[in-house]
Amino acid sequence: RARLGVLVSGSGSNLQALLDASGQEGFPAEVACVVSNVPTAFALERARKAGVPAVVVDHKAYASKADFEKALLEALRAAGVEWVCLAGFMRLLSADFLAHYTGRVLNIHPSLLPAFPGLHAQRQALERGVKVAGCTVHFVDAGTDTGPIIAQAAVPVLPDDDEKSLSARILTEEHRLYPLAVRLAVSGKVTLDGTRTRVDAQATVGELSL
């Protein structure tokens, strides 16, 4: 099974979805280690409870971004990580870092990209008045939420929604989408091909979507 390193900064509910998927027979990946840049992140508790090694690499403890990323890479290498999953990880990774894991870094974002990249995606969606929102898993490039898209899921925006209710509806889908996208990427059904994703011609619609 492919060894995942999951990078987190917060609650870690998407990490939990990947931990739960790892426990299922036939899932082609397992969480090998969790790295948080925030020492108090609840995600660390989730990792410990699941018996997965968890380490803190606090960006504030390093003089430069390059030093922070070097420490991140060391933690991932020590755990034999082959794929990196960003799950509510709130730091941007440099092209130098990404070059160590080309085509093997995934991120989940709470909007239907390319709409609403960056912070507070759900608030942006409400402010814009869209009637359909959702989430996206994509390969990570050096931009902010700009990398090639692996899979998406949509939810309705309801008239009475606020940021909290819409975020919760999207998050439920995130927890289904991230394991699906990891399965697609790790099994080679969806691969990075320059600035696009390539979908295996043998893959069925049923495999590719929720």
Q: Which residues bind ligand GAR (CB under 6 A)?
A: 10-14, 87-88, 108-110, 121, 171, 174
- Give the residue numbers of the binding site: 12-14, 65, 90-93, 107
* Active-site entry in 109, 120, 138, 175: 109
Nearer to ligand GAR, 10 or 53 (CB): 10
Nearer to ligand GAR, 73 or 153 (CB): 153
Compute the least distance from the CB of residue 143 to ligand GAR, in Å: 12
Compute the least distance from the CB of residue 93 to ligand GAR, in Å: 12
Nearest residue to ligand GAR on Cβ basis: 88
Nearer to ligand GAR, 5 or 110 (CB): 110
138 catalytically annotated: no
Q: Is-contact 4 76, C-beta < 8 A?
A: no
Nearer to ligand GAR, 14 or 191 (CB): 14
- Give the residue numbers of the binding site for (6R)-10-formyltetrahydrofolate: 65, 90-93, 107
Sheet with 149-156, strands from edge to edge, namely 54-56, 29-36, 2-8, 83-86, 105-109, 132-139, 149-156
Compute the least distance from the CB of residue 94 to ligand GAR, in Å: 16
Compute the least distance from the CB of residue 96 to ligand GAR, in Å: 20
Report, as residue numbers or ranges, the catalytic residues: 109
